[in-house]
Amino acid sequence: MRLKGKVAVITGATAGMGRASAVLFAREGAKVVMCGRRKELGEEIAKGIREEGGEVIFVQADVSKSEDVKRVIKAAVDTYGKLDVLFNNAGINHHEKGDPDQEPEEVWDNIIDVNLKGVFLGIKYAVPEMRKVGGGSIINNSSVNDTQADEVSMSSYHASKGGVTALTKKAAVVYAVDNIRVNAVNPGPIATELVDITWDQLNDPEIIEMRKTKQPLRRMGHPMDVAYAALYFASDESAFVTGATLLIDGGQSAAYRDVQ
């Protein structure tokens, strides 16, 4: 088991990449603290993990709120005695016109608060607990859209993910002295609720056929693909890796494509 004895907090754990990571981390021996805004769904997922033999609790929280994030970290320490891993996974986007001159200010504020401020708050409150145990691993969910743009994502989404990557590097440098590693996963076209594909639809043949044309690797990106990347950063296998970003995009960012 690659995470045996470790305690891991995963934000945005009720869907997509966060849900897959909660399942995988528990299978690999971690004691998992899931957090998200949907309490009933969170408890249902946690129950399924426990039925598989995993150790997990769910804490309802909004990562854009300081008191909520502090409560999640406290729940991890109160329940399991320490904190070793934080996966800042929670993220949102909107399907509205996202050009800078047309994006509503309230949408900008909402996306920045969840995607960027939420990562900042996670780091802020996790670091003191990780120092107590001599180190830890923080994984931030960024995106291929941190350095490239498309026409469908909100401007705030691009800005937030660029900020996450920059914050990852800053935190990696300043917390290296504490043996706290900070890295980012940078997903591309993964089938999640962010692109209107629910967990129950992941095996839908029509969706698979549609998604497999979006990148050079001709298959749908699955939430578990990102979970395995996060697992590497969470484990001691990446003990000499910090400040890194890992693309999980099926080759999307390597391919030249004409603007449609």
Q: Which residues have CB under 8 Å from 153's CB, separation 6+?
A: 93, 98, 145
CA distances from 134 to 30, 54, 175, 196, 248 (A): 18, 25, 11, 40, 30
**Pairing assessment for the beta strands 245-248 and 180-187 based on DSSP bridges:** parallel
Q: CA 20, 121, 235 angle in degrees (round to 5)?
A: 40
Pick from 197, 245, 184, 189: nearest CA to 213: 189
Q: Which residues have CB under 8 Å from 199's CB, separation 6+?
A: 15, 16, 19, 193, 223
Q: Which residues have CB under 8 Å from 48's CB, separation 6+?
A: 23
Give the catalytic positions in this structure.
Answer: 157
